[in-house]
């Protein structure tokens, strides 16, 4: 985890105090890095008088570990991915949002209103959604990149120059796609093949890093790397030769969600923040900043038109299926945790 604590809207808070307005509370957010515009947090404070503090993390797994290691009771909301919402709910880490608490809940798009990972949206609201694949610097390698061989059996031009996300769920799911085996497999031969693939492949990887996945491609420290589609779009804006792949074997899709944490010290502020993000104009500001899709209706008029034509958001005809990371049962997950631990040694 990369903890960065920053108090937002200091200048605005001082201005409000000077004018005689009193702050209405606090909000403590646990969020992915580089994933929400400061202007939007400032707007929330200006509208509500609520002071915002935010810590950041770089993977679902690091977020969960930090919360279980003492973070509960510190944060009000977090922003886990789909499968992690299910895990957190199962471990009793999430509070329930009562019917009627969110005035803007009706703005959630129908396809995201009753997801399998949080039926009825009892604990969460949609934030952003997109895909996880990998990008290649076409100035280094100009061959076909739409294959997971790029990561697991790379051409000579890319060997030893690949950055992998430090994200267990997405790395192992991508490896399962490459092998054509199910996620959460309990078959011993399939698990051995998965472990062997990862151990053999890591000699071709230069780093495990999520928070600099964009920077290492732009700087040339890596010539290829796992990355999220919005991050890759930002990388391409800085370096035109960065190209996002949609492999024929398939790729990961995800939806990040804002969840209400159990023991939230500022529960009322958390509900206000979630309702704020359910306003189309506000969540569109996140999409325009992060370059991902949102999960609400009524956002089109507020979105940057370029988002609709991003190559990173439009799979080619030969792309394999997009799959969500699956939440395994506890015993199976322990095996995958061990595979990941061995990989990171």
Q: Is the pTM of this model over 0.75?
A: yes
Cα 14 from Cα 7, distance rounded (Å): 13
C-beta of residue 227 within 8 angstroms of C-beta of residue 244: yes
Return mean pLDDT, the chain: 93
pLDDT at 24: 73
Cα 230 from Cα 232, distance rounded (Å): 5
Closest CA to 67 of 31, 25, 18: 31
pLDDT at 45: 98
3-state secondary structure 101-151: CCCCHHHECHHHCCCCCCHHHCCEEEEEEEEEEEEEECCCCCCCCCCCHHH
Closest CA to 268 of 94, 76, 118: 76
pLDDT at 1: 31
Could you tell me which residues come within 8 angstroms of residue 336 by beta carbon, excluding any fewer than 6 positions away? Answer: 168, 172, 184, 328
pLDDT at 189: 98
Alpha helices, H only, 125-243: 149-152, 168-179, 188-201, 213-219, 229-238
* Domains of the chain, CATH where assigned: 6-128+255-307 (3.40.190.10), 130-253+312-344 (3.40.190.10)
Closest CA to 204 of 141, 140, 246, 149: 149
For CA atoms 84, 323, 59, 345, give the dihedral sign. Answer: positive
Closest CA to 338 of 173, 219, 195: 195
Average pLDDT per consecutive 10 residues, the chain (345 residues; last block may be shorter): 35 34 78 97 98 97 96 97 98 97 98 97 98 98 98 98 97 98 97 98 96 97 98 98 98 98 98 98 98 98 97 97 96 96 94
Q: Give the pLDDT confidence of 68-89 residue by residue, as tens digits.
A: 999 999 999 999 999 999 999 9
DSSP per-residue string spanning 259-275:
EEBTT-TTHHHHHHHHH
């Amino acid at each position: 985890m990369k903890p960065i604590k920053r108090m937002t809207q200091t200048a605005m808070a001082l201005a409000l105090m000077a004018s005689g307005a009193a702050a209405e509370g606090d909000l403590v957010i646990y969020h992915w890095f580089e994933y929400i515009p400061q202007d939007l947090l400032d707007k929330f404070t200006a509208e509500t008088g609520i002071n915002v503090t935010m810590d950041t993390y770089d993977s679902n797994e690091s977020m969960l570990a930090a919360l279980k290691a003492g973070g509960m009771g510190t944060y009000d909301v977090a922003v886990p991915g789909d499968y992690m919402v299910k895990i957190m709910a199962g471990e009793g880490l999430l509070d329930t949002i009562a019917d009627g608490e969110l005035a803007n809940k009706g703005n959630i798009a129908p396809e995201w209103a009753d997801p399998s990972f949080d039926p009825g949206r009892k604990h969460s609201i949609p934030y952003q959604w997109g895909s996880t694949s990998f990008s290649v610097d076409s100035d280094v390698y100009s061959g076909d990149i739409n294959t997971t061989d790029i990561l697991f059996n790379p051409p000579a031009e890319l060997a030893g120059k690949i950055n992998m996300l430090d994200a267990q769920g997405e790395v192992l799911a991508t490896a399962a796609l490459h092998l054509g085996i199910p996620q959460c497999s309990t078959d011993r031969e399939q698990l051995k093949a998965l472990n062997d693939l990862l151990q053999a492949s890591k000699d071709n990887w230069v780093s495990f890093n999520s928070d600099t996945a964009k920077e290492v491609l732009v700087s040339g420290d890596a010539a290829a790397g796992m990355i999220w589609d919005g991050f890759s779009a930002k990388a391409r804006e800085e370096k035109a030769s960065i190209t996002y792949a949609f492999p024929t074997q398939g790729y990961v899709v995800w939806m990040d969600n804002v969840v209400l944490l159990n023991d939230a010290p500022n529960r009322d502020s958390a509900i206000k923040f979630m309702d704020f993000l359910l306003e189309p104009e506000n969540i569109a500001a996140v999409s325009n900043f992060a370059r991902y899709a949102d999960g609400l209706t009524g956002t089109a008029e507020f979105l940057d038109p370029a988002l609709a034509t991003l190559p990173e958001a439009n799979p080619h005809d030969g792309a394999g299926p997009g799959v969500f990371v699956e939440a395994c049962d506890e015993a199976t997950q322990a095996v995958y945790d061990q595979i990941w631990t061995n990989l990171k040694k």
